[in-house]
Chains A and B, each alone.
Chain A
Amino acid sequence: DVKVTQSSRYLVKRTGEKVFLECVQDMDHENMFWYRQDPGLGLRLIYFSYDVKMKEKGDIPEGYSVSREKKERFSLILESASTNQTSMYLCASSPGLAGRLSYEQYFGPGTRLTVT
């Protein structure tokens, strides 16, 4: 079974703090993703990575950065947390294309971040 883990289920931070959210997958997947989920807005893609040290902006990258130093680990960084970044953060991974037409994504349990 694919397993995606996230470092915290719940996190409370203060405005202006630097916040690190960690994600680890154990299936040797090439692709990793960070989404946020908000009521009424659904899931929105922040950043994704298709290889070590590679990153691509998603739909809402402003205020975030990412790091992928190892294949299994993808970190999301909030450089200076703000209250509008209070949200559920979901990490996902998927295998590389390599002859496939579709590549399903598997999600971690999520981190509910509150910025006060």
Chain B
Amino acid sequence: QKEVEQNSGPLSVPEGAIASLNCTYSDRGSQSFFWYRQYSGKSPELIMFIYSNGDKEDGRFTAQLNKASQYVSLLIRDSQPSDSATYLCAVNPGRGADGLTFGKGTHLIIQP
């Protein structure tokens, strides 16, 4: 049974600080990993994807992947109140056009 685990939160971070969101996955053969942001009542919006071990940076966002530990994380630098949302981790099992397996999300609150 493929699983993606996230702490549901809420994770409260002061404005301007670094928010760290974590995700673990059970399928060792997973190929690629995605972070989505979802505002309340809205659909998920892709932030970043990563498929190689190490760090990938895009603006204030950094995705980190450690396949040996089956661990992926998202760092948000200089957190803003507009970053308050639920962040979904998603994993592609690597068998072709399969859908992604999603974690249940971490609710992030940035406190002004």
Contacts and interface: CB of A to CB of B under 8 A. Distances in A.
Interface of A: 30-31, 33, 35, 40-45, 48, 50, 56, 58, 90, 92, 94, 96-97, 101-110
A30 B96 CA distance: 12
Task: Name the residue among B31, B96, B100 with the largest chain A CB count within 10 angstroms.
Answer: B100
Nearest to A41: B104
Contact of A102 (B32, B43, B98, B105): B32
Contacts, number: 64
Interface in B4-49: 31-32, 34, 36, 42-46, 49
A42 B105 contact: yes
B99 A107 contact: no
22 contacts: A33-B99, A35-B102, A42-B102, A43-B44, A43-B88, A45-B99, A48-B97, A48-B99, A50-B97, A58-B99, A96-B97, A101-B32, A101-B51, A102-B32, A102-B49, A102-B92, A103-B97, A104-B46, A105-B90, A107-B36, A107-B44, A110-B42
A105 B46 contact: yes
Contacts of B44: 43, 90, 107
A110 B36 CA distance: 15
A103 B92 contact: yes
A106 B43 CA distance: 10
B104 A30 contact: no
A105 B35 CA distance: 11
Contacts of B100: 45, 105
Of A94, A104, A110, most B-chain CB atoms within 10 Å: A104
Given A40-B104, A42-B105, A110-B43, A102 B99 contact: no
Contact of B43 (A33, A41, A107): A107
A47 to B, nearest CB: 9
Contact of A104 (B34, B96, B97, B103): B34
B45 A107 contact: yes
Interface string B40-82: 0011111001010000000000000000000000000000000
